[in-house]
Amino acid sequence: MGDLSLLDCTLRDGGFVNDWNFGRGNMINLLERSVSAGIDYIEVGFIDEREAFDPNRSITPDTDGMNRLFEGVDHGRSKIIAMIDYGTAPIEAVCDAKDSILDGIRVMVKKDTRYEALEYCRQLKEKGYLVFVQPVSITGYSDEEMRDLVAHSGEIHPHAMSIVDTYGLLDQSKLIHYFELMDKGLSGDVMIGYHAHNNFQLAYANSIALAESAGSRDILLDGSAFGMGKSAGNCPLELLTMYANEHFGKQYDTSQILEMIDTCIRNIYAVSPWGYQMQYYLCASNDCHPKYSQYLMQKKTLSIRSINEILKLIEPSKKLKFDEAHIEELYLAYQKNDIHDDEALQSLGAELSGKIILVTGPGKTIRQEKERIRTYLEKERPVVFSINACFEEFPADYLFLTNSKRYLQLSGSLEQDKYAGLKIIATSNVTPSRGSFDHTVDYSKLIDPGCSIPDNSLPMLLRLFAKIGVKDLALAGFDGYTEKAGSNYYNEDLEYDFAHDYALELNEYTGGVVKEMRKAGMKITFVTGSRYDDKH
């Protein structure tokens, strides 16, 4: 049986959680604790010329920055390692190993620049470093491509080559398959490593499977304290030390890792938690970049099932490299369900002909200015609309639905007797849980594909009103957006994650739609204050 070594990547991969801003004291503490635990390799951060030196961050522009951060710290028998994403640090940013606190450098090798990255690895080895070849997103390689990469890596004779499961896509059989490809092509004295992510909750189980299937090959397993790391996190280092002690006769001091967690990591987790989450499961189950599921979930218009169905439509060549234009195109195509809605429009037009309409929205003024709204209701006796929500203070005659997720949240309540007289107008992307809606209108004819948020519900409703000839309407609770997260709705559960990022654009766009409708002859009154009102 070969030997088993552990690498602590807390200060490097963990930095994706807190922008590498651990603080000087914590960085030294984490390094010293890991050394005291007897961890074989300790990765202390990134070298990236795009970053200015900061004594509180474990990412520096050159090896001189690493020297300034950790020089003088006793690292005992542990090897000190840094990582470079090929292309972010020229070879000139790396001093000779004899002048560095670093023993080795791990190089992120991306498929489209893999040969140039391997040449960079060769140059690092000439400078005296232990070199680790890290082919990221390994699941993007075919067997033939992987054999070729292993052969070219073998010519450099690296200290180690790793199976880097960037998006946590591997199960045990796939992991062992990649191991066998590397094992057949590398010299016997080259370690094979494994860098796991926990999208499927398999990081620890996979690590054990590799250790027990490696035969005579020396294995290097990555872990981080409490699993701190990008997306779903890494394999917990404390579990790896426990396993190695029990099954490989190691003597790692797990209590030192627990001290790392207690003195530093738990505080970071309380602010920015990592670990298994639905969005990371969805991307892993569809073999795609995690930003795709995050992008769709932030819209808060789709059920989990719908998100999963859209992710299955991503073109294979785009799966592992996030393409916002592509996922937006798929989103709009999925939502689009062209229907002939002439009859629905004609019926709605007849129902609302000559009526004054009040539309209630979810802004904070729906509560703050409720007396003003009540006064308007008593005076004008309008037909009341609400959008994707129901407000008990102001019972609606019509509910306009554009959001499948909000509908699913509401569907149970809509069965109650108090909503017996409520009529539902739904856009064609929303499917009824039973029966049919009172009116269904074409989603694709109400959106604006040229807008950053093409299916913004208020402009959609205004366009619908224009189609059916509504001439007199009022708006209450449509405050507009602020850039402060969590401050746009009377109920935080209704908040859209994207709203504060697009606040000014949303205000300008929606205000423009209101202005356009007014110019076309529609009388629009704001009962409560709004950033959409050019008369405000």
pLDDT tens, position by position, 342-368: 999 999 999 999 999 999 988 888 889
- Among candidate residues 220, 149, 148, 154, the one with its CA nearest the CA of residue 187: 154
Residue 363, in any domain of the structure = yes
Is the pLDDT at 384 greater than 60? The verdict is yes
**Residue 134 shares a structural domain with residue 262:** yes
The bridge status of strand 104-109 relative to strand 79-85 is parallel
Residue of 524 and 444 predicted with greater confidence: 524
Model's pTM, two decimal places? 0.69
**Residue 372 shares a structural domain with residue 230:** no
Is the pLDDT at 493 greater than 60? The verdict is no
What is the pLDDT at residue 489? 58
Residue of 12 and 307 predicted with greater confidence: 12
Query: What CATH number corresponds to the domain at position 164?
Result: 3.20.20.70
- Among candidate residues 344, 335, 348, the one with its CA nearest the CA of residue 440: 344
pLDDT tens, position by position, 220-278: 999 999 999 988 999 999 999 999 999 999 999 999 999 999 999 999 999 999 998 88
Is the pLDDT at 200 greater than 70? The verdict is yes
Of all residues in the chain, the percent with pLDDT exceeding 90 is: 71
Complete DSSP assignment for 24-54: HHHHHHHHHHHHHTT-SEEEEEEE-TTSPP-
* Local structure of 521: helix, strand or coil: coil
**Residue 326 shares a structural domain with residue 431:** no
At which of 294, 317, 335 does a domain end? 335
Residue 445, in any domain of the structure = yes
| Domain count of the fold of the chain | 3
150's CB contacts (< 8 A; 6+ apart) are: 161, 181, 182, 184, 185, 186
Please, how many CA atoms are within 13 Å of residue 18, restricted to the half-sphere of its CB? 25
**Residue 309 shares a structural domain with residue 209:** no
Phi, psi of 62 (to 5 degrees): -160, 175
* Local structure of 133: helix, strand or coil: strand
Residue 148, in any domain of the structure = yes
Is the pLDDT at 306 greater than 70? The verdict is yes
At which of 286, 308, 335 does a domain end? 335
Is the pLDDT at 498 greater than 60? The verdict is no
**Residue 182 shares a structural domain with residue 159:** yes
* Local structure of 290: helix, strand or coil: helix
Residue 535, in any domain of the structure = no
What is the pLDDT at residue 170? 93
pLDDT tens, position by position, 97-122: 999 999 999 999 999 999 999 999 99
Is the pLDDT at 487 greater than 70? The verdict is no
Q: Report how far apart the first and last C-alpha atoms of the chain are (Å, whole number).
A: 77
Residue 44, in any domain of the structure = yes
**Residue 55 shares a structural domain with residue 199:** yes
Residue 470, in any domain of the structure = yes
What is the pLDDT at residue 468? 95
Residue 536, in any domain of the structure = no
**Residue 133 shares a structural domain with residue 237:** yes
Whole-angstrom distance, CA of residue 412 vs CA of residue 250: 56
Mean pLDDT estimate for the chain: 91
**Residue 445 shares a structural domain with residue 492:** yes
**Residue 31 shares a structural domain with residue 174:** yes
**Residue 428 shares a structural domain with residue 325:** no
**Residue 112 shares a structural domain with residue 202:** yes
The parent domain of residue 288 ranges over 278-335
In this prediction, residues 283-290 reach a mean pLDDT of 87
**Residue 235 shares a structural domain with residue 307:** no
